[in-house]
A and B are shown apart, each in its own frame.
Chain A
Amino acid sequence: LAKTTQPISMDSYEGQEVNITCSHNNIATNDYITWYQQFPSQGPRFIIQGYKTKVTNEVASLFIPADRKSSTLSLPRVSLSDTAVYYCLVGDVTGGGNKLTFGTGTQLKVEL
């Protein structure tokens, strides 16, 4: 499973756009890029997943350049409730199961 590197923490203010970049230099051909969000005392929650180019859903966008060695999670107009830890995961389904490897994540703090 590919190793990922992301900033330990980020600060923002309500209403701003937040971009969290994840580096995954040894991503393999079959790997997908998935982002999870975790609030204190809760299990992680799926945000978005992509393979290449751009993916958008109701809560976020995911930008993946052509070489796929990095990806950027974009949260538009964050609010206080977006304060959480965000995990970037890279992996595939080979070898059995859908095993995920979590790094330490990025602690996003949103202030007024």
Chain B
Amino acid sequence: NAGVTQTPKFRILKIGQSMTLQCTQDMNHNYMYWYRQDPGMGLKLIYYSVGAGITDKGEVPNGYNVSRSTTEDFPLRLELAAPSQTSVYFCASSAGTSGRVQETQYFGPGTRLLVL
């Protein structure tokens, strides 16, 4: 199993450009998440999904959109890139089957985004 994969690894965007960060997991997990991490800070939740066709906002959703058409894929869309979106973006997944136990989240390697 590859686990959680993310593409691209690194990208430079100009202000106002758009892009999609790709995330795929091969563990058949129900739950998927997008986080951003600014330098020296902890991760902040952008969006999450509890299953195909279901998404919800996290702590910092403004400027981003997501979709979940399949169990495996959870792309993150930036429509109008701004310098404040310069960050490292991590995708994660968890099984979503334990019910009452907070499950382990498995993280991808991250996408480093620079907006100039």
Our count of residue pairs bridging A and B at CB distance below 8 angstroms stands at 71
Chain A binding site: helix, strand, loop or mixed by DSSP?
Answer: loop
Interface size on A, residues (CB 8 A): 25
B103 contacts A98, C-beta separation under 8 Å: yes
| CB interface residues, A 5-49, toward B, < 8 Å | 30-32, 34, 41-46, 49
**A30 near B100: Cβ-Cβ < 8 Å:** yes
Is B109 in contact with A42, judged by CB distance below 8 angstroms? yes
Q: How far is the CB of B89 from chain A (nearest CB, A)?
A: 10
3 smallest A-B Cβ distances: which pairs? A43-B107, A102-B42, A102-B43
Contacts A46-B104, A46-B106, A97-B48 supplied; 9 other A-B pairs, CB < 8 Å:
A31-B102, A32-B101, A32-B102, A43-B90, A93-B101, A93-B102, A96-B48, A98-B31, A101-B59
Binding site for A on B (CB under 8 A): 4, 31, 33, 35, 40-45, 48-50, 56, 58-59, 90, 92, 94, 96, 98-110
